[in-house]
Amino acid sequence: MAAASFVMSGAMVAGAVVAYIRVPSMAKKYVSDMKLELTKTILDAVPVPEMPEMPKLPTETGPAITSPF
């Protein structure tokens, strides 16, 4: 009985250590995959507007604004 208890306790400790080491990296990968999936979904759902042609810049200036007084 004592040997079985020792093996079970050791397995639980080993499982806890593995979970403690692996869970953060698994969660980080899951979050990264979700961000990528959401980005693709949003970009597919929202149309990208076309850039309008820039207006020509003026080559000369007009007269100064006259004072109303």
Q: How far is CA 39 from CA 18, 29, 55, in A?
A: 32, 15, 32
Task: State which amino acid sits at residue 47.
Answer: P
47-65 confidence digits (pLDDT tens): 877 878 888 888 877 777 7
Q: Is the pTM of this model over 0.85?
A: no
Residue 27: CB atoms within 10 Å:
10
Tokens of 9: 């306790």
Q: Residue 5: which of 21, 13, 69 has the closest Cα?
A: 13
Place of tokens 């692996």: 22
Element containing residue 18 per DSSP (H, E): helix 2-45
Q: What's the pLDDT tens digit per position in 9-36?
A: 999 999 999 988 988 888 899 999 999 9
Q: Is 24 strand, coil or helix?
A: helix
